[in-house]
Structure formats: structure tokens, C-alpha cells
Amino acid sequence: MGVRKRETAEARKEANKSIAFAKLNNCPTSPRKMRIVADLVRGKKVELALNILKFNAKDASGKIEKLLLSAINNWQQKNADANLEEAGLFVKEITVDGGAMLKRLRPAPQGRAHRIRKRSNHVTIVLGATNNNTQSN
């Protein structure tokens, strides 16, 4: 590995240590349905985002709520001495990417077959803190 490549890899690892994130891979929901719920909480404070997800009727909101709680827990483990209320956590970034697709066949009229695509997705939540002195720990 070259020197420049190693230095950028080390810089990327250091940057990942300072942020708190959580990932959900291969969630059996279509990415379009998951993005509708993800757009509701993008950029919101953590307490408000949890309330939005708790009282939303969509099935995807329960999965994102659980993922958000996991990201909060990851932040608390990195910053053990910091207070959650004083930090001012917010959803800095939330991305929904397409995952693996299961392809199935469904019978159609006149002996034909239609392809059914059962989609899945990957969700990543990154938390940020408005109080920057807690990030330096």
C-alpha cells in the first residue's frame, strides 16, 4: 500500500471514531417506502425524531426508530462522561440505499409468468452534536 493511500485510510479511520453511526443491512422493505420515513427525521433533533417515529403508522418507522436508538447508544458508549441532553444530538445524515433483490415468478394469464422483485435496503444513520466539546473526547 502506498504512503498516500495509507495516510488517507488512517485519516478516514480517525474521522469515523469521532462520529456515532448505526447501520441496518438487508432490511426487507423497499427503499422507496423507507426513504419516505427517513425524510421525516433528517436534520431533526434526536428527541423530536424519536417522537415522530414512535407515532408514525408506517411499518418502516419502527425499524428506523430501533436503528436511531442504536445510534444513540453507540454515541453514549463513545462519550461515556458526556450528558445526552446537553450534547444536543441531531440526525446529521440518514441514507437509504438499495440492497439485494429476490426475484420470484408469479403466474400470469395465458400461461405466462411475471417477475416479482422483492426489494431490500440498507439504512445508515449518522448523529451529530451541536455542542462540539463533547466530540473531542
Region at 110 (left for phi over 0; alpha for psi -120 to 50; beta for the rest): left
Report the DSSP beta bridge partners of residue 98: 121
pLDDT in tens, 32-69: 999 999 999 999 999 999 999 999 999 999 999 999 99
Give, as one character, the DSSP assignment of residue 59.
H
Give the CATH H-level superfamily of domain 20-134: Ribosomal protein L22/L17 (3.90.470.10)
pLDDT bracket for residue 80 (50, 70, 90): confident
| Average predicted confidence (pLDDT) for the chain | 91
Domain ranges of the chain: 20-134
Distances (CA, A) of 12 to 5, 7, 8, 56, 106: 11, 9, 6, 36, 46
pLDDT bracket for residue 133 (50, 70, 90): low
Using the predicted structure, report yes or no on whether residue 9 has a pLDDT greater than 80: yes
pLDDT above 90 covers a percentage of the chain that reads 76
